[in-house]
Structure 1
Amino acid sequence: MLRKARYGHPVSLLFIDLDHFKRINDTHGHAVGDDVLKAFCNIARKCMRSTDLLGRWGGEEFVILMPNSGVMIASLLAERIRKATMAFEFPIAGRVTASLGIAECREEESWDSWLARSDAALYAAKAGGRNQVIKDATHAGEAGEAELLDLAYMRLGWRKAYESGHSLIDSQHRDLFDLANNLLTSVIGDRPDDEVVPQVESLVADLTKHFHDEEVIFRSVGYSSADDHAEIHRSLIIRANNLVENFKQGELSVGELFNYLAYDFIAKHMLSEDRKFFGLIQTDSMRQAESRETPQFATTCNND
């Protein structure tokens, strides 16, 4: 949490509960229950990165702390653990499933608040039928980000609500989603670095061009915060290029790189900062449409 506050590094928390665990203890005894807990820990560790931290919270509940991870990377890990647990044949106990809740730490948030949101997401997973992953219910302004990752298909899902009304901006945003999905496929498939680097470089190049084109558009509609927004673009591109270099030098995993590029740069920026000028674009489009539809009457002067 201190690193997040100081450097802006995201951090997420997974809250995990083994479904119907009491039934295992009651049916097979506590020794078998203990074996299930140990086996689950082994399953979780095989899915985790070396920097992630697993802890037993109490009973059949566990937490996983994920440094340098936004909600997307946390969702990928949670789904991987859920599927691996469901597929494992536990000795004596048989099949066991898990419910998982996810929360990314917010700006200036306390530990108690962050934990409570993760716990609430876990409760929603259990109340909703168990054996599922639920992301924390975010504020209304962040709803788009919460819906962005479709775990059923493991891809970034484009929604009509993300559209600005400007054909170029919207087509570029969709293209960025596609490039991010290609990178996501490589992350899930554990593809070698020499395949990932061209994808990353293409994503950053398209992001750079998009920022340039977008600045021309929002300046043309008179966006009052145009200079501030352009400075955000410049900072994001500098950071993106630095992260790519860190990845090439082996200082950053492909999963962490995806989290920064797809989540921080595309999702967070596009679904929060960009929306601040979407209204101006839509108003300008309506004004132009009305101008085209209004009959123009010419006044003639008779010199007779």
Structure 2
Amino acid sequence: MIIKRRFKMKYEVTKELETGNVLIDSEHRQLFQMVNNLQDACAQGKGRAQIESSVKFLMDYVKKHFNDEESLQKQYKYPGYDAHHKFHQGYMTQIDNAGKELLSKDADIASLAEVNRLIGILISHIRTEDKKIASHIHAIDGK
């Protein structure tokens, strides 16, 4: 059973969340768009196939984004790489679990709430940790 929501919460990369790094910011925008698409599909009672493809894309894109971020960290010898990598590993596990839960329960309220909780964690991570990476890169590149 797919639950239709009466409200819409849209995620977006605001000025507060911009890191100033073109790659990181564009990937954050794409991640948020995928979450928005997933929530819209659930809210509109879209078919299971669309929800499955949105969940799979989101899970895959999180992995791609984290790999891109970590490549930048290695390239610029970011001193906080180990802690950042550890966060990424744990977060990917949580996203994978939430995606599986969402699919197994046909997008029920609890599984959607878990996705929202995880996006809240990501937003906090962007505000602090990703901005540190971008500042480090900027200090080296001057861009």
RMSD of aligned C-alpha atoms?
Answer: 2.6
The verdict on how the C-alpha distance between 1:257 and 1:197 changes in structure 2, with shifts beyond 3 A counting, is farther
Unaligned runs of 5+ in 1: 1-48, 50-75, 81-150, 290-304
- Residue 237 (str. 1) matches residue 54 (str. 2): no
Q: CA deviation at 1:259?
A: 1.2
Which residue of the partner structure matches residue 262 of structure 1? 119
Which residue of the partner structure matches residue 177 of structure 1? 32
- Residue 193 (str. 1) matches residue 41 (str. 2): no
Answer yes or no: is the 8 Å Cα contact 2:34–2:58 preserved in 1.
yes
What secondary structure sits across from 1:155 in the alignment? coil
Answer yes or no: is the 8 Å Cα contact 1:221–1:281 preserved in 2.
yes
The verdict on how the C-alpha distance between 1:176 and 1:279 changes in structure 2, with shifts beyond 3 A counting, is same
- Residue 279 (str. 1) matches residue 143 (str. 2): no
Question: Counting helix residues as a fraction of each chain, which structure ranks higher?
Answer: 2
AA in 1 matched with 2:119: A
CA distance in 1, matches of 2:127, 2:44: 27
The verdict on how the C-alpha distance between 1:175 and 1:196 changes in structure 2, with shifts beyond 3 A counting, is same
CA deviations over 1:5-55 (Å, ceiling 9, x no partner)? xxxxxxxxxxxxxxxxxxxxxxxxxxxxxxxxxxxxxxxxxxxx9xxxxxx
Answer yes or no: is the 8 Å Cα contact 2:73–2:133 preserved in 1.
yes
- Bigger radius of gyration among the two: 1
Which residue of the partner structure matches residue 167 of structure 1? 22
Greater relative contact order (Cα < 8 A, sep 6+) = 2
Q: CA deviation at 1:251?
A: 8.4
Q: TM-score, normalised by structure 1?
A: 0.40
Answer yes or no: is the 8 Å Cα contact 2:48–2:106 preserved in 1.
no
User: Paired residue for 1:220, among 67, 75, 83?
Assistant: 75
Q: CA deviation at 1:261?
A: 4.4
CA deviations over 1:120-139 (Å, ceiling 9, x no partner)? xxxxxxxxxxxxxxxxxxxx
The verdict on how the C-alpha distance between 1:251 and 1:179 changes in structure 2, with shifts beyond 3 A counting, is closer
The verdict on how the C-alpha distance between 1:281 and 1:234 changes in structure 2, with shifts beyond 3 A counting, is same
Number of residue pairs the alignment of both structures matches = 138
Unaligned runs of 5+ in 2: none
Answer yes or no: is the 8 Å Cα contact 1:162–1:271 preserved in 2.
yes
Deviation >4 Å, runs of 4+:
none
The verdict on how the C-alpha distance between 1:197 and 1:204 changes in structure 2, with shifts beyond 3 A counting, is same
Answer yes or no: is the 8 Å Cα contact 1:164–1:170 preserved in 2.
yes
Q: TM-score, normalised by structure 2?
A: 0.79
Deviates more, 1:203-212 or 1:235-244: 235-244
CA deviations over 1:128-173 (Å, ceiling 9, x no partner)? xxxxxxxxxxxxxxxxxxxxxxx7xx42132233222222112111
